[in-house]
């Protein structure tokens, strides 16, 4: 498959300022109780605020994603995605950078089928609040972010990883339609970002499996192998948010239904299996 490249659609992007009201928090969220709860849930996460080395990058991502989502809101897609939808590339030109949206109509259809409103998607990923960073245990050189409400997860990707994801995207969408309760990660968008005279970067947007975070005690990234799959746990009492791995999970079980059944069966199990060739989680 050829490397993703800007298609014939290249437009000036609208400004997020036009939709600022959509991302403004209600006055009730500024109360003391909300701020205390929000601070507690963010322990171990770090705001990417002015002065952070990634602040400029994430601001561009926010402005670009706001404008990209505005396109799907202005031109809603109904019905199943077509072959052209899976191959479309839209490049929007911003001041100082350009953002590409790959297979945008197909992902908009997927978000709609998952019951995700474009307005909510835009508000969470747009410039309504700083993205959050956490210390990843991944051995890749990727950068990881959370939207300010921790609902969506963003990760930088290599070009070949993006190529693989797009190659399997039609089967991935079909799989989620057949198995709506699948435990596969929900991939919601693939984008490229290039600063003027700079190298193109790719990143993906996923629905965070850790949202809402209030009742989560432990987090695991299970890949079904044992090589380099151990993370040194945080010291007792530490507020550092760590994602543990396969070897950390040895000897533990999960009761899925309250009846002692630790593994799904029958049709339920089909929902856990990715389509042939598609990894259970993008990247590493």
Res 163: pLDDT: 97
Burial code (b: 16+ CB inside 10 Å, e: under 16) for 211-225 equals bebeeeeeeebeeee
Q: Quick one: tokens of 126? A: 């747009």
Distance CA 56, CA 49 (A): 9
Res 27: pLDDT: 46
Rounded average pLDDT over 259-270: 48
Q: Quick one: tokens of 188? A: 């919601």
Res 142: pLDDT: 82
Question: Which band of pLDDT confidence, cut at 50, 70 and 90, is reported for residue 276?
Answer: low
Query: Is the model more confident about 243 or about 151?
Result: 151
Residue 53 to residues 47, 49, 66, 275, Cα–Cα distance (Å): 12, 9, 22, 38
Query: Is the model more confident about 164 or about 273?
Result: 164
Report the percentage of the chain scoring pLDDT > 90. 46
Res 64: pLDDT: 98
pLDDT tens for each residue of 98-157: 999 999 999 999 999 999 999 999 999 999 899 998 766 566 678 889 999 999 999 999
Please give the biggest Cα pair distance in the chain: 59
Res 24: pLDDT: 43
Rounded average pLDDT over 72-84: 91
| Chain position carrying tokens 């191959």 | 87
Provide φ and ψ at 199, rounded to 5°.
-85, 145
pLDDT tens for each residue of 185-218: 999 999 999 998 889 999 999 998 777 666 667 7
Res 134: pLDDT: 72
Question: Which band of pLDDT confidence, cut at 50, 70 and 90, is reported for residue 265?
Answer: very low
pLDDT tens for each residue of 169-179: 999 999 998 88
For residue 254, pLDDT over 80 is answered with no
Instruction: Provide CB contacts within 8 A for 179, sequence distance 6+.
Output: 270, 271
Distance CA 104, CA 101 (A): 6
Residue 113 to residues 80, 124, 227, 228, Cα–Cα distance (Å): 10, 19, 36, 36
Of the candidates 167, 221, 222, the residue with the CA atom closest to the CA atom of residue 190 = 167
Res 78: pLDDT: 79
Domains in the chain with CATH codes:
37-216 (3.30.800.10), 217-249 (no CATH)
Res 17: pLDDT: 62
Q: What is the mean pLDDT of the chain?
A: 80
Query: Is the model more confident about 242 or about 84?
Result: 84
Rounded average pLDDT over 21-48: 53
For residue 43, pLDDT over 60 is answered with no
Query: Is the model more confident about 221 or about 109?
Result: 109
């Amino acid at each position: 498959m050829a490397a993703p490249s800007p298609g014939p659609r290249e437009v000036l992007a609208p400004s997020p300022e036009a939709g600022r009201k959509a991302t403004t928090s209600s006055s009730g969220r500024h109360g003391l109780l909300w701020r205390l709860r929000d601070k507690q849930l963010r322990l171990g996460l770090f705001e990417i605020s002015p002065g952070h080395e990634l602040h400029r990058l994430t601001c561009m991502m926010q402005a670009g994603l706001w404008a990209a989502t505005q396109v799907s809101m202005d031109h809603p897609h109904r019905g199943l995605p077509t072959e052209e939808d899976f191959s479309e590339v839209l490049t929007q030109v911003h001041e100082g950078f350009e953002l590409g949206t790959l297979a945008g109509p197909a992902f908009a259809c997927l978000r709609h089928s998952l019951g995700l409103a474009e307005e909510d998607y835009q508000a969470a990923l747009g410039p309504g609040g700083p993205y959050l960073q956490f210390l990843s245990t991944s051995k890749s050189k990727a950068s990881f972010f959370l939207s300010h409400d921790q609902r969506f997860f963003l990760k930088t990707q290599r070009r070949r990883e993006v190529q693989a994801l797009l190659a399997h995207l039609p089967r991935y969408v079909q799989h989620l339609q057949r198995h709506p309760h699948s435990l596969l990660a929900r991939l919601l968008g693939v984008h490229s970002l290039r600063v003027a005279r700079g190298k193109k970067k790719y990143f993906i947007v996923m629905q965070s499996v850790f949202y809402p975070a209030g009742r989560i005690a432990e987090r695991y990234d299970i890949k079904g192998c044992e090589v380099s799959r151990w993370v040194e746990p945080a010291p007792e009492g530490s507020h550092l948010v760590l994602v543990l791995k396969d070897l950390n999970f040895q000897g533990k079980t999960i009761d899925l239904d309250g009846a002692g059944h630790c593994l799904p069966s029958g049709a339920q199990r089909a929902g856990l299996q990715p389509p042939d060739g598609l990894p259970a989680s993008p990247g590493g």
